[in-house]
């Protein structure tokens, strides 16, 4: 069995552990008996702090499920998931909601923004519902970095797809979460807009020390990461550090071939 | 075929979303059918009752009316000789003289009125063989002799009467006591009349004040003789023309027509309220189908892309509406019957006995219910269906997201403003009308136009009004409040239609409450200004002489005033004549009711052979002070009376009354034709008001059919009566409001479904369930308050206009019942909270993952 557990080491930001999130023996199964489908099969994984991790795998490999479980959006059948030192498996909805609000950021593939709120309101929404004041300096910096300063009063419907995703990224960053999860964040964008968003995510890791995990099937998107995890049939079957798009593509072709011959 | 199949599938796939619309159709149809069943059942009950209580052929005096007693308080009668002659007619099995009076009050030994509390009459009469058709003696025996009486079982039950109890009968001819020796039970449903029986001699003496006369003659046909034949035979025996001869059918038809017209008033009033509920339901149905169409935009686009015609898409929506209408209406018809039964039980509890044995469901009732339900539903779905037909095939290719918000258009705004403007103008005109009758039509037009106008510009107003409400209310709720506001604003047409549904019911509530309190305020004002008497004595029976005597002999009174309307024909010098009668009162009446005069002194009108007329009459018919009018008293002689005063008609009480003194009346009317007093006034000796009031009440204890009230009690009574009436109307309007609340629930529930992804997103980024629920509740409150604000504003406008118009009829004081208005406004907020309960709960339970599940 392959696992993607790295030996914990101290360092990185603020004296915290180097692992931002980890999964231990996580099983996610749907149905029971004959119709039981296992989406995650005893997965162990560590997400390194301050790194950009990409999860890849064919459709139905369980990559989205893994991300949802790590992010506290979905419950697991068995096993534990920790965010930093907090075990989130078994948390009640209320605590879990607070945790998502205060410690996690999200970027989805589409429909990231509330259509009734303008860009800046969308960006500060997590802090607003938490009743916290956003840090003005930081907010300005984030807005500046994503290049939305002149679009803050626009409603989502008045923004292009790429701009909408950048607002989503800004929202995820603005609350300074411990970890940002992206579910195919560039899936709906053309390559130029996608590159813009990915470049921005990369910069936030490099310059701001942000931890980011994305699920993608796009080798180009994966090439922006520090580490790629490959999932198949609910298990982690491989990983790759400092990937390039070509390497990722080759590896995926391998899996495809193996899948077909076995 | 495919269209039908798709529609059926859609209908059943979305049955949850249709549920509330179905309930709205159900409620409206149920109310219509319930009303029909209830009134039909009442009619059946009365039909059966009248058929059972009338004999094969009845002979009555020509002047007799089945539903009223002549003003002198004694029923019209015919001599016993008629019975003798009728008896001899061919084909008579038996004939008997009947005595019956409805102008009586029966009390028990504790002076408690044994009559119905629901306005049904007390009937006293002699026990005849004819009564055996509808009743049987279930205990004791029929009355014999002057001290025996028999009472109906329902009355006995209600008042715990048993054999041996003493009853006192108060008739215009005097009081008399008799012991109960028998109890008779109706074989048909008796809806509430209290009936007492005596033997014939007692009934004649005590009820008619004579012997040898009857109120009518009941004839039974021999075997093989039809009622019509018997009628002809009787006519030839007693002579045509002198008396009214009626077959059983004719007699019961005459009886019934009185009840029937009363039932029709009830029926149409209730159907009116059902109509309002339907109107409100239309908004709900429009909203439901609009939302279904919006949510299905992509699906419809696909259908169009693969070749469905506009017509087919349009039709598929209408077919769904038809299914909804049929389904809701069928359930509604069933619920209607249940409602009617419930209403009957309620009436029974209130003292009006109705039996489910008589339950009448005419074949037309379900047909009316079904047709109405289906037609209204399909009409309401027409606009959304047309919109569905307009969906372009391109919609299939666009990203789903949220459906395009309905933008309130310019055309809508213009039409709405024009209608509202026209309506406002009509209201303004009505408020300044010279005659109430002319103005009422304009008022009606104004009400309808402003209502339609408001409904149309509702979505435009939604923006501003919701922002104002939110600015005041929602700022305490931070970002949750802001999002609630934005959600309420995102589809103004939807918010507008939902609010409009609530607006209609509340506008009527506001309007009626304004008119109601203005009525109380105006009456109080008028009473304060004009009424000088201390005590007012009246009841639903004219004041019998023995009661009048009791009033006159009460200690501590300074004076007592008799007041009666007298039937008379009046002719002016220029030849005009009318039969509106005159008012005979004691001269003290001038102190009891202060009237301004335009000429002469009112006291002079109470002089010998003098009278007064109202200013309107005087102007119209050129009557001047000193003119002589010819007054022909009905049943008496004709008098020439001098006009000694002209009263100012700008009043409500006694408007246009023509006064003359009791003395003058007595001169021209024989004693036995003088009607009892309608009302009496009494004033206490100065400083003895309290004692006199108590003494008056005490002396009237034995006449419980009359109420003694001082001015403040009288005002209170007036207020209570209007309050009761308003409460009844509010109760009926509650149906429309319930449907409107269903509309709010419906809008929220469908919005929640529509916003699944948004809700998921908000939950994913950390909004708690509690915050989410609060957001939906606040949205609901804002919508409800929007509807309430519009409705109350509109209704107060209507009410104020109605008051201005009715000022011509004496509704001079405008009183806005602020506690009621504010109460309704605050209540609406709670209604909004209530409506959001289930949608909020469901939103809270929604799966977070739905937001990110890519479809």
Report domain extents, chain B. 63-241, 557-684
Mean pLDDT over A166-171 rounds to 90
Cβ–Cβ pairs < 8 A, chains A and B: 81
B60 to chain A, any CB pair closer than 8 A? The answer is: no
A110 to chain B: which residues are within 8 Å by CB? 399, 854
Which domain does A75 fall in, by range? Answer: 19-261
Q: What is the pLDDT of residue B99?
A: 93
Residue ranges of alpha helices (H) inside B631-755 are 662-668, 689-699, 711-754
Q: What is the pLDDT of residue A12?
A: 38
Residue with tokens 């006192």: B168
* Spatial strand order in the sheet of B677-684: B659-661, B582-585, B557-566, B677-684, B535-543, B706-710
Mean pLDDT over B721-740 rounds to 89
B487 to chain A, any CB pair closer than 8 A? The answer is: yes
Q: Give the tokens for residue B415.
A: 């039409």
Please name the residue of chain B whose CA is at the shortest distance from the CA of residue A123: B765
Q: What is the pLDDT of residue B190?
A: 87
- Residue A34, pLDDT > 90, answer no
Give, for B834, the enclosing helix (H) or strand (E): helix B818-835
Of A73, A102, A131, the CB nearest to B848: A73
Distance CA B743, CA B738 (A): 9
Residue B83: phi and psi, rounded to 5, are -60, -45
For residue A74, what pLDDT band results from cuts at 50, 70 and 90? confident
CATH number at residue A181: 3.40.50.300
Q: What is the pLDDT of residue A8?
A: 42
Mean pLDDT over B622-650 rounds to 91
Q: What is the pLDDT of residue B28?
A: 92
Residues of A with CB under 8 A from a CB of B: 68, 71, 73-74, 93-94, 97-98, 100-102, 104-106, 108-112, 114-117, 121, 125-126, 128-131, 171, 183-184, 187
Using CB atoms within 10 A of its CB, is residue A60 exposed (0-12), middle (13-18) or buried (19+)? middle
CB-CB contact of B99 with B204 (8 Å): yes
Mean pLDDT over B747-752 rounds to 89
Q: What is the pLDDT of residue A25?
A: 93
For residue B67, what pLDDT band results from cuts at 50, 70 and 90? low
B754 to chain A, any CB pair closer than 8 A? The answer is: no
Model pLDDT for residues B208-242, shown as the tens digit of each residue: 888 889 999 999 999 889 999 999 999 998 888 88
Select the more confidently predicted residue: B550 or B8: B550
B467 to chain A, any CB pair closer than 8 A? The answer is: no
Q: What is the pLDDT of residue A252?
A: 82
Please state which of the ranges B70-79, B136-145, B247-256, B259-268 shows the lowest mean pLDDT.
B70-79
Distance CA A27, CA B12 (A): 37
Please report the DSSP string for B620-651 in residue order: HTT--TT-EEEEEETTS-EEEEEEEEEE----
Mean pLDDT over B143-154 rounds to 94
What distance in Å separates residue A106's CA from the closest CA in chain B? 7
- Residue A1, pLDDT > 50, answer no
Of A114, A121, A171, the CB nearest to B758: A114
Q: What is the pLDDT of residue A14?
A: 42
Residue with tokens 């919109």: B387
ipTM: 0.84
**Average pLDDT score over chain A:** 85
Distance CA B219, CA B50 (A): 16
Q: What is the pLDDT of residue B68?
A: 60
Residue with tokens 């055309």: B411
Mean pLDDT over B727-732 rounds to 88
List the 762-781 stretch of B: residues with Cβ below 8 A of A: 762-769, 771
Select the more confidently predicted residue: B205 or A147: B205
* Residue A6 within a domain: no
Q: What is the pLDDT of residue B65?
A: 66
Instruction: Specify the pTM.
Output: 0.83
Mean pLDDT over A154-168 rounds to 88
Q: What is the pLDDT of residue A257?
A: 67
Distance CA B359, CA A28 (A): 63
Of A101, A114, A115, the CB nearest to B766: A101
Model pLDDT for residues B687-696, shown as the tens digit of each residue: 888 999 999 9
Please name the residue of chain B whose CA is at the shortest distance from the CA of residue A99: B766
Model pLDDT for residues B669-719, shown as the tens digit of each residue: 998 888 899 999 999 998 888 999 999 999 999 999 999 999 999 999 989
Q: What is the pLDDT of residue B348?
A: 84
Q: What is the pLDDT of residue B639?
A: 92
- Residue A112, pLDDT > 50, answer yes
- Residue B449, pLDDT > 70, answer yes
For residue B399, what pLDDT band results from cuts at 50, 70 and 90? low
**Average pLDDT score over chain B:** 88
For residue B605, what pLDDT band results from cuts at 50, 70 and 90? very high
Model pLDDT for residues A241-251, shown as the tens digit of each residue: 988 888 888 88
Q: What is the number of domains present in chain A? A: 1
Q: What is the pLDDT of residue B66?
A: 58
For residue B181, what pLDDT band results from cuts at 50, 70 and 90? very high
Within 10 angstroms of residue A104's Cβ, the number of other Cβ atoms is 26
* Residue A4 within a domain: no
Q: What is the pLDDT of residue B69?
A: 63
Q: What is the pLDDT of residue A3?
A: 54
- Residue B567, pLDDT > 60, answer yes
Model pLDDT for residues B404-414, shown as the tens digit of each residue: 444 547 788 88
- Residue A129, pLDDT > 70, answer yes
Q: What's B65's DSSP letter?
A: B
Mean pLDDT over A5-14 rounds to 44
Q: What is the pLDDT of residue A2?
A: 46
């Amino acid at each position: 069995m392959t696992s993607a557990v790295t030996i914990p080491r101290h360092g990185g930001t603020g004296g915290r552990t180097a692992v931002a999130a980890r999964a231990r023996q996580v099983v996610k199964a749907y149905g029971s008996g004959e119709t039981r489908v296992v989406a995650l099969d005893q997965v162990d994984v560590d997400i390194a702090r301050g790194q950009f991790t990409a999860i890849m795998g064919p459709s139905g490999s369980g990559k989205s499920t893994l991300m949802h479980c790590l992010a506290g959006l979905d419950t697991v059948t068995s096993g534990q998931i920790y965010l930093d030192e907090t075990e989130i498996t078994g948390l009640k909805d209320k605590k879990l909601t607070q945790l998502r609000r205060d410690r996690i950021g999200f970027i989805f593939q589409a429909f990231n923004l509330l259509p009734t709120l303008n860009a800046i309101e969308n960006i500060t929404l997590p802090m607003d519902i938490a009743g916290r004041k956003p840090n003005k300096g930081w907010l300005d910096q984030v807005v500046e970095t994503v290049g939305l300063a002149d679009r803050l009063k626009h409603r989502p419907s008045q923004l292009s797809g790429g701009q909408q995703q950048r607002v989503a990224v800004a929202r995820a960053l603005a609350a300074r979460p411990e970890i940002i999860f992206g579910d195919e964040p560039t899936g709906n964008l053309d390559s130029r807009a996608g590159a813009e968003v990915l470049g921005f995510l990369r910069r936030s890791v490099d310059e701001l020390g942000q931890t980011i995990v994305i699920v993608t099937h796009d080798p180009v998107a994966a090439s922006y990461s520090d580490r790629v995890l490959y999932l198949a049939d609910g298990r982690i079957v491989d990983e790759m550090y400092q990937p390039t798009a070509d390497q990722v593509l080759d590896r995926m072709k391998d899996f495809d071939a193996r899948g077909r011959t076995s | 075929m495919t269209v039908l199949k798709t529609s059926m599938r859609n209908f059943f796939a979305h049955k949850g979303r249709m549920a509330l619309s179905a309930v709205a159709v159900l409620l409206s149809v149920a109310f219509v059918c319930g009303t029909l069943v209830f009134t039909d059942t009442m009619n059946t009950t009365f039909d059966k009752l009248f058929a059972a209580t009338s004999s094969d052929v009845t002979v009555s005096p020509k002047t007799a009316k089945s539903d009223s007693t002549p003003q002198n308080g004694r029923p019209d009668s015919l001599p016993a000789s008629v019975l003798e002659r009728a008896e001899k007619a061919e084909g008579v099995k038996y004939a008997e003289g009947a005595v019956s009076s409805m102008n009586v009050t029966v009390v028990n030994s504790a002076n408690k009125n044994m009559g119905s509390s629901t306005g049904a009459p007390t009937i006293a009469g002699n026990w005849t063989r004819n009564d055996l058709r509808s009743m049987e003696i279930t205990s004791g025996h029929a009355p014999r002799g002057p001290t025996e009486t028999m009472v109906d079982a329902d009355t006995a039950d209600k008042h715990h009467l048993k054999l041996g109890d003493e009853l006192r009968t108060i008739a215009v001819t005097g009081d008399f006591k008799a012991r109960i020796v028998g109890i008779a039970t109706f074989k048909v449903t008796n809806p509430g009349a209290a009936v007492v029986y005596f033997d014939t001699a007692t009934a004649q003496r005590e009820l008619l004040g004579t012997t040898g006369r009857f109120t009518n003659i009941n004839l039974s046909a021999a075997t093989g003789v039809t009622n019509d034949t018997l009628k002809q035979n009787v006519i030839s025996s007693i002579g045509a023309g002198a008396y009214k001869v009626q077959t059983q059918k004719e007699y019961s038809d005459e009886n019934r027509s009185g009840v029937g017209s009363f039932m029709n008033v009830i029926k149409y009033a209730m159907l009116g309220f059902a109509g309002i509920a339907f109107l409100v339901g239309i908004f709900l149905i429009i909203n439901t189908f609009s939302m279904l169409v919006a949510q299905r935009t992509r699906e419809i686009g696909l259908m169009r892309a693969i070749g469905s015609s506009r017509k087919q898409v349009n039709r598929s929506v209408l077919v769904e509406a038809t299914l909804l209408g049929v389904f809701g209406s069928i359930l509604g018809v069933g619920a209607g019957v249940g409602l009617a039964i419930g209403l009957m039980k309620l009436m029974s509890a209130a003292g009006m006995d109705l039996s489910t044995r008589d339950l009448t469901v005419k074949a037309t009732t379900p047909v009316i219910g079904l047709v109405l339900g289906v037609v209204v539903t399909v009409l309401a779905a027409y606009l959304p269906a047309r919109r569905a037909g307009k969906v372009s095939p391109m919609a299939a290719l666009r990203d789903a997201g949220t459906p395009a918000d309905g933008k309130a258009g310019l055309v809508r705004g213009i039409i709405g403003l024009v209608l509202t403007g026209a309506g406002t103008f009509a209201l303004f005109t009505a408020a300044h009308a010279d005659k109430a009758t002319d103005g009422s039509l304009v008022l009606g037009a104004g009400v309808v136009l402003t209502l339609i106008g408001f409904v149309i510009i509702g979505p435009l107003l939604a923006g501003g009004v919701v922002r104002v409400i939110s600015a005041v209310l929602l700022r305490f709720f931070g970002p949750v409040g802001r999002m609630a506001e934005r959600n309420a604003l995102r589809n103004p047409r939807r918010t507008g239609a939902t609010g409009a549904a609530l607006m209609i019911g509340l506008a009527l509530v506001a309007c009626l409450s304004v008119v109601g309190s203005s009525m109380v305020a105006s009456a109080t004002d008028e009473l304060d200004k004009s009424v000088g008497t201390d005590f007012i004595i009246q009841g639903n029976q004219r004041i019998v002489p023995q009661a009048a005597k009791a009033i006159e002999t009460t200690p501590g009174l300074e004076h007592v005033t008799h007041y009666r309307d007298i039937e008379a024909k009046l002719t002016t010098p220029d030849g005009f004549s009318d039969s509106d009668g005159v008012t005979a009162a004691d001269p003290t009446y001038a102190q009891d009711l202060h009237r301004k005069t335009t000429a002469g002194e009112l006291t002079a009108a109470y002089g010998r052979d003098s009278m007064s007329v109202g200013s309107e009459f005087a102007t119209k018919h050129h009557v001047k002070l000193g003119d002589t009018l010819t007054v022909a008293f009905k049943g008496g002689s004709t008098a020439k009376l001098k006009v000694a005063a002209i009263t100012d008609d700008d009043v409500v009480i006694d408007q246009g009354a023509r006064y003359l003194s009791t003395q003058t009346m007595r001169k021209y009317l024989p004693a036995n034709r003088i009607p009892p007093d309608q009302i009496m006034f009494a004033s206490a000796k100065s400083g003895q008001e309290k004692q006199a009031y108590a003494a008056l009440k005490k002396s009237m204890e034995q006449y419980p059919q009359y109420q003694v009230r001082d001015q403040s009690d009288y005002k209170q009574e007036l207020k209570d009566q209007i309050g009761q009436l308003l409460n009844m109307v509010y109760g009926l309007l509650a149906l429309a409001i319930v449907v409107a609340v269903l509309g709010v629930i419906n809008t929220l529930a469908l919005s929640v479904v529509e916003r699944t992804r948004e809700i998921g997103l908000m939950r994913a980024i950390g909004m708690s369930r509690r915050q989410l629920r609060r957001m939906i509740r606040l949205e609901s409150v804002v919508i409800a308050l929007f509807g309430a604000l519009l409705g109350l504003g509109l209704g107060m406008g209507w009410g104020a206009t109605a008051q201005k118009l009715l000022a011509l009829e004496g509704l001079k004081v405008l009183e806005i019942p602020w506690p009621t208005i504010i109460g309704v406004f605050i209540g609406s907020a709670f209604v909004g909270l209530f409506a959001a309960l289930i949608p909020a709960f469901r939103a809270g339970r929604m799966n977070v993952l739905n937001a990110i599940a890519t479809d």
